[in-house]
Each structure stands twice: as C-alpha cells, then as structure tokens.
Chains A and B, each alone.
Chain A
Amino acid sequence: MGKTATDWVLFVVLLIGALLMSGPFVWMIATSFKPAADVFQFPPTLFTADPQVENYVRIFTTIPFGRAMANSLVVSVLVTLLQLITCSMAAYAFACLRFRGREALFLIYLAALMVPSQVTLIPNFILIKTLGWIDTYQGLILPYAFSSFGTFLLRQYLKSIPAELLEAARIDGASHAQIYLTIVLPLAKPALGALAIFTFVAQWNNFLWPLITTTKPDMQVAIVALATLQGQYNTDWPLLMTGSVIAIVPVLLVFVFGNRAFIAGLTTGAFGGR
C-alpha cells in the first residue's frame, strides 16, 4: 500500500473514532431537547419530531441549578486566582532565590504529588467540620488554594529566565517584591495561563470534596447538584441530560479557547514530573 492510500485508510479510521468520541455529546444534546415521553421509544431516535426547550426551563425551577452554577463559578475562579498567587510566589523562591533547605523543601512538595487525594480526605473533612465550615465557601476553596503541581509547573518555566536579568534589576536597586511583580510575573504569562486553565477545569469538575462538605442545596456546586438530581429524578433522562449539557459548557468553552495552553501545560507538567 502506498503512503497516500495508507493515509486515507487511517484518516477514515480516525474519523470513525472521532464519531465514537463525540457521539455521547451529540446524544446528550439531542436528548436535552426531547419531551419526557420520547425517551421510552424503542428503538430510540436521535432527533425528536417535537424538539422543545422546556427542559432548559425545568432544570432551573425544579432545583436551584442557577445557584449551583454560580457556586461553581465562584469556587473555580477563586481557587484559580489563589493558586496563581501562592504557586507563583513559591515558584519564584524555588527558581530564582537561594536559601538553605531549598532542595529538601522542594522534594517534600514534590513527594506530595504521590499522595492520592483520598488519603487526606478524611482528616480534611474532620478539620472543616470542626471549624464549622461545612456549607461555606472557605471550606470549598481553601483546601485547594495551593498546589504542588502548580508550583512545579511554574518553577520549570521560571528557571528559563536568565539570571543576569534578575541580577541587573537587583543592582539597579529593585526589591524582590518588585522583581517578582514587574519582571517575573509578566515573563511567566504563558505558564500562568496554562496553570489557570488547568486549575479552572480541574476545580469545576471536582466532585468528592464538594459532595462531602456541602449539605444544603444552596451551597452545592453544579457537578454535585447534577449527581443529586440523578438520585431524585433517575428516569427523567431529558432533565438529567439538560443538566449535564449546562454543567459542561463552561469547561468546554474554556478548553476550546485555551486548548493550546492547556495541552502545553499538561505535557510540560507531565514530562517535567518524570
């Protein structure tokens, strides 16, 4: 088989693969426009003869889904901002400053990447409960305000800044805070962007922690509200699919617009971590 013939076969195989990968999304969207009775037809049809937007109204009236979306947005944005601050500050210290214990502390931060999140789940839950922080934003946000992964990602990037540049600024009398704010942060924009997108997506999709630390519907994030909805309306597939569509739209938008930065961050973080 010649090179072009092989390429065509592969192209068709990849196209079929793309259909399989995107199929569930198409099915999700198609079902969200179906009237409730339509879903119990066999064999099922992809497009209903009677499309309607009723489900998109119902989802906001049966449960406080608007509030849940707002909660997700508040938590994800604040976690992202806090991580950008705490991780970039730590990364600046690790990459650009000399101090005793630097390597040891960095190793400890790195070792934390090997700890599965379920290990710290119970002690953190007990802590948040003891503080009376169940059903609060601080309980949802603060445990994620710093990450070893983010520090590592930014440190790798900051190490590429020429030391002479920072040295020159020092000689001109700039303080460390000035260097960090006016030289390092602007130069680190691509890495900060990658971390921001990565953190936002991870936090939006985060499930187990918000599940166990919220009890009131008003404090649930969108993904937890979706899982709760399944418990209450487990055969109302159009409603469940509508909730799913709405809950994944923000992340898909962020990903489609920032996919280059996202994947760059993912692969740098990944290969650097080896």
Chain B
Amino acid sequence: MARSRVRLTRVARAEERAAWLFLAPSLVLFAIFTAIPVISAFFISFTQWNLFNEVTWVGLGNYIGLAHDEIFAKVLGNTGYFVLVSVPVQIALALACALALNRGLKGQTFFRVVYFLPVVTSTIAAALVWAWLFNSNFGLINAGLSLAGVTDLPKWMGSTRWAMPAIIIVSIWQNLGYAMVLFLAGLQNIGKDVHDAAALDGATGWDRFWHITLPLLSPTTFFVLVISIIGSFQVFELVLVMTKAGPANATNTLVYYIYQNGFQFYQMGYASAAAMVLFLIVLIFTLVQYKLQRRWVHYG
C-alpha cells in the first residue's frame, strides 16, 4: 500500500515534469510575443515616445488627448457606422444563403466553395480589384450604372458620402462565406426529425423557421455575431488600399488611426492608447454578448 503510493507520486511527478517540458516552447513564445507585449502596451499608452527621443511619462495625457481629438471622434463614428451596417447585412445574407443551401440543393459543394473563395483571398488583392471596379471614371460598376440609366454617378472612393458604403460592400463580399459556412454547420446540427415532427403537426415553413430553426440556431447566430462585430472593428486593409482613410478622413477607422499614429507619425504612446480603446471595445462586446447569451440562446 505504502509502496504503491510512493510509486504513484513518483509517476505523477514524472508526468508533471514531462508536461512542463512539452509546454516549454509555447510558454517562451507566448511570454515574449503575447503576454509581455500586452502588459507593455498598457504602460506605453501612458508615455510619449517617438522611438528616438527619451521616453516621457505623461500619465493619462494620451487618453485626455484622444478625448479631445476631433479626428478620433470621427474615427470612432466611422468605425461604428461600418460595424452597424456591415454586420447585420452580412449575417442576414449569410443566413439566407445557408438556409437555401441546407435544403439539399444540387451543387451544394460548388456553392460553398465559390462563396468561400473571398474569405481565403488576401484582403489587399481583393481591395485592389474592387478599387478598380469602383473606379469612378473607368470602373465596371459605374459603367453598369450608367447603362442602367443612372445619370448622377457616385464618385465612390472620391466622395465623402459613398466611400464608406463602397468599403462596406467589399467587406460584406469578403466575409459572407465565413458566416455562411458557420451557419451551415449549425443548421446541420439541428436534426431533420425535429422538422419532420413539426411538419406532421401542421407547422408551415415560416412557423418552423421562426419557432424551431431560429431558436435552435441561436448559439451559432450568437457566435457569428460576436466574431463579425469583433472582426469589423478591426477593418484596416480595405481602407489602406481603397481610400487611405480619405476623403477628409471620411473612412478613417480605429485600426487605420492606430497604424497612422504609430507607423507614420511615430507617436507610439498615442497609438498604444488608441489600441487600448480598441481592446476595451472588443472586451466589452465579448463580455456583454457572453452575458446576453445565457438569456436568449437556446442550447438544443
């Protein structure tokens, strides 16, 4: 009895040692490139530093600066506009496509691959071709509109009014397939027998959608919503290629502003403070959604 316990602890201790050896590479990399940088970013946000001069501690200076920064207010407004329009449209379209595909239509695999292609395509390459499509003088989109009889053609990326809608359209095109694939996986988890039983009880297609499919799909919807919101707050590459934040900062977004301040103006402290604002927004959305999830998500 005593002997086997001694043996057991020795085995357990050996297992523990093995575990830390297996974890060692990830621990080192995680500490250097994730954990320490997160803490550093927090401290850098309280300093003023252009990489060359001395670091000066400015306390809440950067945050007070952001609060009084008119461009930053505009940046937050633009980012909010982008998220509020692109996320609902993208989710609604993705759900509609997933529902249609889930009926067992011909060519399901084909459609899934084609709708997913933009997701795996480099955003820079995608933004380049869309910038060309949206070109207000020689682009395909305005050519189509003028053929359709539109006389007052939008100047798209050159106009304060249409630049953001152009970016939103590209973003929806690029991310639709991801949400659709997640919805399809969610739909396939809902058993067909649930629907058959409801149909036998006389429920119509719409009834079944509202009272069975949608509630049972809500964990997926919840997840897609969180992922889409968090991803949309980080829109950057589309802005860089299509508008460079213009015209007149009409498309300047949070991550673009961080990039501008950090890597064009070399204001590391100010950029870090803006990054902390992004962090806070993402954190709040994650936590709020996590709380709400308990209230309205039905786990089947």
Interface residues of A (CB under 8 A from B): 7, 10-11, 13-14, 17-18, 20-22, 24-25, 27-28, 31, 39-44, 85-87, 89-90, 92-93, 97-100, 102, 105, 108-109, 112, 114-127, 129, 142-143, 145-146, 148, 151, 176-177, 180, 201, 204-205, 207-208, 212, 223, 226-227, 230, 237, 240-241, 243-244, 247-248, 251-252, 255-256, 259, 262-263, 266-267, 270-271, 273-274
A259 with B116: CB separation less than 8 A: yes
Q: Which residues of B contact A (CB under 8 A)?
A: 12, 15-16, 18-20, 22-23, 25-26, 29-30, 32-38, 40-41, 44, 51, 97, 100-101, 103, 105-107, 110-118, 120-126, 128-130, 132-133, 137-140, 143, 146-147, 173, 176-178, 181-182, 185, 219-220, 222-223, 227, 230, 233-234, 236-237, 240-241, 255, 258-259, 262-263, 268, 271-272, 275-276, 278-279, 282-283, 286
| Pairs across A and B, CB under 8 Å, 8 listed | A10-B103, A24-B129, A93-B20, A99-B19, A109-B30, A122-B41, A205-B123, A240-B128
With A43-B147, A205-B123, A244-B129 as known contacts, state yes or no: A126 contacts B237, CB within 8 Å. no
Residue of B nearest to A240 (CB): B128
With A11-B105, A87-B26, A142-B29 already in contact, the answer to whether A40 and B124 are too (CB < 8 A) is: no
CA distance A14 to B129 in the complex (A): 23
Chain A min CB distance to B73 (Å): 19
Which residues of B have CB within 8 Å of A126? 40, 51, 268
Q: Are A267 and B181 in contact (CB under 8 A)?
A: yes
Whether the pair B271, A115 counts as a contact (CB closer than 8 A) is no
Q: A21-B118, A43-B143, A89-B25 are in contact. Are A244 and B15 (CB under 8 A)?
A: no
Contact between chains at B278 and A116 (CB < 8 Å): yes
Which residues from B are CB-within-8-Å of A11?
Answer: 105-107
Q: Does A18 contact B115, Cβ atoms closer than 8 Å?
A: yes
Provide the main secondary structure of the chain A interface.
helix
Are A118 and B124 in contact, CB atoms less than 8 angstroms apart? no
* 6 A-B pairs with the lowest CB-CB distances in the bound complex, closest first: A123-B37, A120-B37, A146-B29, A99-B19, A244-B125, A123-B40
Q: Are B30 and A248 in contact (CB under 8 A)?
A: no
Q: Please tell me if the beta carbons of B122 and A17 are within 8 angstroms of each other in the complex.
A: no
How far apart sit A43 and B170, CA to CA, in the bound complex (Å)? 22
Chain A positions within 8 Å of B133 at CB level: 24, 27
Alpha-carbon distance A221/B223, docked complex (angstroms): 33
Contact B26 A116 (CB under 8 A): no
- Please give the distance in Å from B255's CB to the nearest CB on chain A: 6
Cα A182 to Cα B15 with chains together (Å): 18
Cα–Cα distance between A213 and B237 once the two chains are bound (Å):
16
Q: Within 8 Å CB of A93, what residues of B? A: 18-20, 22-23
State whether B124 touches A207 (Cβ < 8 A): yes
- Complex Cα distance, B139 from A39, in Å, reads 9
Partner among B113, B236, B271 whose Cβ is within 8 Å of the Cβ of A256: B113
Expressed in whole angstroms, the Cα–Cα distance for A152 and B116 within the complex equals 23
Chain A minimum-CB-distance residue to B276: A119
Q: How far is the CA of A27 from the CA of B279 in the complex (A)?
A: 38
CA distance A18 to B111 in the complex (A): 7
